[in-house]
A and B are shown apart, each in its own frame.
Chain A
Amino acid sequence: MKCHVPGPNVKVLGRTVHVLARFGDELYLESLPDCVLLKTLNASESAYAMIKFNNSFFSYFKYNFYSTEDNESLKCKISMKSALNAFKSPTHMDKQVENLEIKLDPDACKLIFQFKCKHGIVKTHYVSILDCKATQAVYTKDQVPNRIITSQRLLSETLGNFQSSDDQVTIEATNQSLILRNYVDANIELTKIIRTQINLKASEFDSYTVGVDTTITFTLKEFRALLAFAEALSLPIQLQFETTGQPVVFIVHNGTTFEAHFVMATSKPDALTQTQASSQNNSRTDYKRKEVNNSVGPMKKKPHLDIDISKCLDEDSHLFNYIDIPEETDLRPEKNGTTEANAAEEDNLQEYMDCDIPGSPTSRTKIKSVFKRCFESTFDPRSIQGVKLVENSDSD
């Protein structure tokens, strides 16, 4: 694969690498005939990011520059440090770089970034490919009851009230308002920590749909990184989430050339540490009982995307999957939740199975219309599991 990124877009690519670097230590690059995907997953497997660049992002794009076989996608994994080294300062790049050429030659074991800069300077980075695997995650994007679109400035302004030492945030969403609170781990001494809460009204957002009152908790590190990303590119953020414990998806896109998905696992807030009395307490404890068995290992509050890599190729009982696909395997998304669900998780499974749609990260063509249509307050009962290449195929 060989492609050219025109000057103004190099900064976008640079910002992409920087936000991905806040999520994970390894960068997966995958080239498909019509787009390029950059993905990463964090070490604790609780946050995943995927950014897709369409053909239109590039001034030149030749997918099969090196090979003549069309049906094989090119994929590689490089160290995030290598990527950061190539894209050291995105703002600086804006003024200096005229063009960037990226070459992925599967035989050469190198990913080459060549920057043509002002004053005739050429900077080339030969990055070693660590291996040729891909990563793929399966998550719900469309059939969710809660969808909020906001300018990143609103969230940045709000987060400015929290301490830099706060590492998790809880969002309590009702159809009237959104409350953000810093989440305090039960282990930390309460007498030392400031507890902060901010109330936002539904009218403050560009678009606000909360079909089901929900409370979710997730880590701030990645959240702050994706806000910075949206801010650098002056783009709004879309949040999608459903029930407590299910991942929250943040989407940043410019409608045409690229789309970024940031998926973060959410944990269930411990009803004891949160001081707000709310009608949700009861429903939360119900979830709590059911989800006790869901976490991997001893019960802990740490958000965790349900992943068990060794098992996921056999069975899938979780909504969210991280699959490390060796080169030879069929690339199509795994079937979800078919046979060998863990006995302990069966309760949850029944509830969540209905919304389980294998998401193929590549299908983005009908984005706008899909979002419009999904302003529904209930799950679409007609969504069924199974192998689906195009995720919105049953949203009608």
Chain B
Amino acid sequence: MDDGTSQYYFTASMDSGKTLHSLLKAIQFQESAVFCAMSEGLKLTVEEGKCVQASAYVPADNFTEYHVRDDVDVIFKISIAVLTECLNIFGASEESSLKMYYRSEGSPLLLVLQPQSVHTVMTDCEIATQTADCLLELRDEDATEVAKLVLKASAFLGLLADLERSCDVMELHLSPDHPNVSIVTYGMQDRSCIEVPKSSDMMQSFSCEQPVTLKYQLPHIRLIMKALAISSKVVLRCSSNGLLLLQLKLEKDEQRQMFSEFHIVPLLDDY
């Protein structure tokens, strides 16, 4: 990186932007995201209404170079759709090196990409940034965790893929007694139920003190499928207020990891 950029708010570079691209695509269910560069790493957050909040988190050790000025907040709103298209400008089959620059508040985010195999081409992108909206704080300090499951991501993806797409609601029943995990969906005239015992080898860990039944909008749950497809592990945490937190881990290579997180608000019964 040039010395000329040392006063920039944020600069980073990576050998290949491919994994970052996949991770961002996995949370791309809205047009824009909040981009936040912290000293620990990079986090992008997307929200849908007041019901779903998804984040992609890339720890700083994933970058070959990573600088954030500690006297400023590097946080802005950016089109995640444009960002992912630019990261993929040379196509999926090409590994391209990536450099990111953010000069100061209000500057566009500058990306420079160069394919590793071809040296006679490069792409530079200037992506407009705007002031970030406030992000919802969905976590409730007073709520306690009532259940936690750790599963293989691919196995959980298989279960979700099997749910009838046209259903609106998914019921999640968790209990210390058998069957420990039940996922129920209702169709027009039918009912389907998937049961997973805690002894199943796809369940890496299970803890649940009291039986709990929670309902979520199935389309919200389905939003995590893209992220599940690129992840190795998923942790489900249910809070006493019904909030579902899913944390997914993506192994890149050589012990470097990226993460995605989904907070999903439950459906409350109308009385």
Contacts and interface: CB of A to CB of B under 8 A. Distances in A.
Q: Do chains A and B touch in the complex (CB under 8 A)?
A: yes
Interface of A: 79, 81-82, 85-86, 88, 96, 119-128, 130
Given A88-B162, A96-B158, A121 B195 contact: yes
A105 to B, nearest CB: 15
Q: Interface centre among A86, A121, A122, A126, by most B CB within 10 Å?
A: A121
A85 B194 contact: no
Interface string B191-221: 1111111011110000000000000000000
A123 B191 CA distance: 11
B194 A121 contact: yes
> 4 tightest A-B contacts by CB?
A128-B189, A120-B200, A119-B202, A122-B195
Given A119-B155, A123-B162, A85 B200 contact: no
Nearest to B179: A122
Contacts of A119: 155, 196, 200-202
Contact of B187 (A82, A88, A96, A121): A82
Nearest to A109: B189
Given A121-B200, A122-B179, A123-B162, A82 B190 contact: yes
Q: Interface centre among A88, A122, A127, by most B CB within 10 Å?
A: A122
Given A121-B200, A126-B192, 8 more contacts: A79-B189, A82-B190, A88-B162, A120-B197, A120-B199, A120-B201, A121-B159, A122-B195
A126 B155 contact: no
Contacts of B196: 119-121
B164 interface: yes
B164 A85 contact: yes
A119 B201 CA distance: 5
Given A96-B158, A122-B179, A124-B195, A82 B189 contact: yes
Contacts of A124: 192-195
Contacts of B199: 120
B240 to A, nearest CB: 27
Nearest to B196: A121
B165 to A, nearest CB: 9
Contacts of B189: 79, 82, 127-128, 130
Contacts of A125: 190-193
Contacts of A126: 190-193
Contacts, number: 56
Contacts of A122: 179, 194-195
Q: Interface centre among A85, A126, A127, by most B CB within 10 Å?
A: A85
A127 B200 contact: no
A123 B164 CA distance: 12
B260 to A, nearest CB: 24
Contacts of B202: 119, 121
Contacts of A127: 189-190
Contacts of A85: 164, 187, 190, 192
A128 B187 CA distance: 10
Contacts of B195: 121-124
Contacts of B158: 96
A99 to B, nearest CB: 15
A292 to B, nearest CB: 43
Contacts of A96: 158
Interface in B161-203: 161-162, 164, 179, 187-197, 199-202
27 contacts: A79-B188, A81-B187, A82-B189, A85-B187, A85-B190, A86-B192, A88-B162, A96-B158, A119-B155, A119-B196, A119-B200, A119-B202, A120-B197, A120-B201, A121-B194, A122-B194, A123-B194, A123-B195, A124-B192, A124-B195, A125-B190, A125-B191, A125-B192, A125-B193, A126-B190, A126-B191, A127-B190
Q: Interface centre among B189, B190, B194, B195, by most A CB within 10 Å?
A: B190
B195 to A, nearest CB: 4
B190 A128 contact: yes
Contacts of B161: 88
A86 B189 CA distance: 13
Contacts of B164: 85
A172 to B, nearest CB: 43
A126 B192 CA distance: 6
A104 B78 CA distance: 56
Nearest to B185: A85
A301 to B, nearest CB: 36
Interface in B231-261: none
A344 B15 CA distance: 81
B8 to A, nearest CB: 49
Contacts of A121: 159, 194-196, 200, 202
A247 B256 CA distance: 64
Contacts of A123: 162, 192-195
Contacts of A120: 196-197, 199-201
Nearest to A125: B192
Contacts of A128: 189-190
Nearest to A88: B162
Q: Interface centre among B155, B192, B201, by most A CB within 10 Å?
A: B192
A130 B190 CA distance: 11
Nearest to B200: A120
Nearest to A113: B192
A125 B162 CA distance: 11
A131 to B, nearest CB: 12
B151 to A, nearest CB: 10
